[in-house]
Amino acid sequence: MTPHLAVATADFSQDNFWIVLLKGAAILVFLLTSVILAIWFERKVVGRMQIRPGPNVHGPFGLLQTVADAVKLLIKEDISVRAADKAVYLIAPAISVFAALLTLAVVPFGPAVSIFGHLTPLQLTDFPVAVLYILACTSVGAYGMMLGGWSSGSTYPLLGSVRSTAQVISYELAMGLSLVSVFVLAGSMSTSQIVESQSSFWYAVALPVAFILYVVSMIGEVNRLPFDLPEAEGELVAGYMTEYSSMKFAWFYLAEYINALNVSAVCTTLFLGGWRAPFPLSAINDGMLNTGWWPVLWFLVKVWLLMFFFVWVRGTLLRFRYDQFMNLGWKVLIPVALGWLVLVIAVKALQEFGSVNLRGPLFLIAGAVLLVALAVSFFIPDKKEVAPPEPEPEPFDAFAAGYPVPPLPGQVLPPSPRKLRAMAAAGATSDPKTTPEEEVDRA
């Protein structure tokens, strides 16, 4: 049995202060420029899906449209709400942005390269529990939305922030459970070691159910359609950010797109081989394309394919109802994630302590069965209670107390003298079991 040590494989021993500062600045520039590109990319792709041009006026191919929007938000009048808790109202957007900016610190963009004569990994830092650090950053980001809605002193932002909290709790549970199977297979929570353990196969292939669970959960985690219930413009007037304007609103907007990039980068790292080239390319010249600066290209291609998936889902699906959304998280994703985790642990135990290798076929067969169970369980309608039969209407005398009173539910007024005369003239007989409407229809 080969022991698995929970240590990072990246070597940062040659990093000095300037190398660390350069890496941090590169991550910051990458995120800010990627957000500008992502907004333009989303508008163009959705426009193409809806058979319209999208941004095409400002700059070549409309590339400067997002820059113009950012400048507009920067110089727009900054309005503050009188009923707001001023300190929390100002801090909430900063919490969301800073928590989003911290996530990529432990994501490897490539292997070790030479920068100014120093051999250093293309990663800011790494440690044995790096994935737990990522989950902690995403959890702290939810506080920004919650505090932003609460501190606004308005009803709709508060409702949006409450929805946000329920959404993060629901889908982060499923996301965390899907990642545990990766930890079991890799033997570590270090991002660099997880990428290293995918040298022979990607975990998206070995753990298909965990991969699908993570993809669904990451859409709910970043409040994207069809899971954008905290914003829900038709119900909450944009939710927790309703009372924000100018750059305070822009910070929330920035955090949303940075989080979309973050979850795409984490999915690439944990399930899609990280910076490693796909199979046909990885076999060229004994993996030459997995060395040097080439891996940065493969990493970015995978991230932007996942960003395209985000946009594709947004342009295809409608927003869920809130009960459907919570049912999917608690009744489908979490039970399937728990069942899949038990299966992975059982197979891993057979590998480590038994003499048979059941990993490949058993994972694929069990994954297919659980996916079918997930789809079937989601579309099975809930059992509805049989409504009791309606009681017969009670006879009611409106003048029993000496003055006219309206009938209560279940009571029916007797026909008026005019209706009785009309029925008598038509030759109808009065049946005490019929309603006045039936008496009139019969007349």
Average pLDDT of the chain to the nearest whole number: 80
Helix (H) or strand (E) holding 250: helix 246-271
Mean pLDDT, range 197-205, rounded to an integer: 85
Evaluate if residue 429 carries a pLDDT over 70: no
Spell out the residues 6+ positions from residue 158 whose beta carbon is closer than 8 angstroms to its own.
149, 150, 152, 240
pLDDT for the residue 362 = 57
Evaluate if residue 303 carries a pLDDT over 90: yes
Of the ranges 260-269, 316-325, 383-392, 424-433, which one carries the lowest mean pLDDT score? 424-433
CA 441 from centre of chain: 56
pLDDT for the residue 6 = 45
The DSSP result for 342-368, as a single string, is HHHHHHHHHHHHSS---HHHHHHHHHH
* C-alpha dihedral, 177 to 183 to 186 to 188, nearest 10°: 160
Residue 315's pLDDT band (cuts 50, 70, 90)? confident
Instruction: Give 354 or 201, the one with higher predicted confidence.
Output: 201
Instruction: Give me Rg for the CA atoms of the chain.
Output: 30
pLDDT for the residue 151 = 87
Backbone angles phi, psi at 133, to 5 degrees: -60, -40
User: What proportions of the chain, in percent to the nearest 5, are helix, strand and coil?
Assistant: 65, 5, 35
Highest mean pLDDT (candidates 71-85, 129-143, 392-406, 418-432): 129-143
User: What is the residue whose two structure tokens read 């910051």?
Assistant: 28
pLDDT for the residue 300 = 92
Residues 183, 368: Cα–Cα separation, whole Å: 21
pLDDT for the residue 7 = 46
Evaluate if residue 282 carries a pLDDT over 80: no
Residue 378's pLDDT band (cuts 50, 70, 90)? low
Evaluate if residue 368 carries a pLDDT over 70: no
What token pair was written down for 78?
């900054």
Instruction: Give 2 or 112, the one with higher predicted confidence.
Output: 112
Instruction: Give 241 or 306, the one with higher predicted confidence.
Output: 306
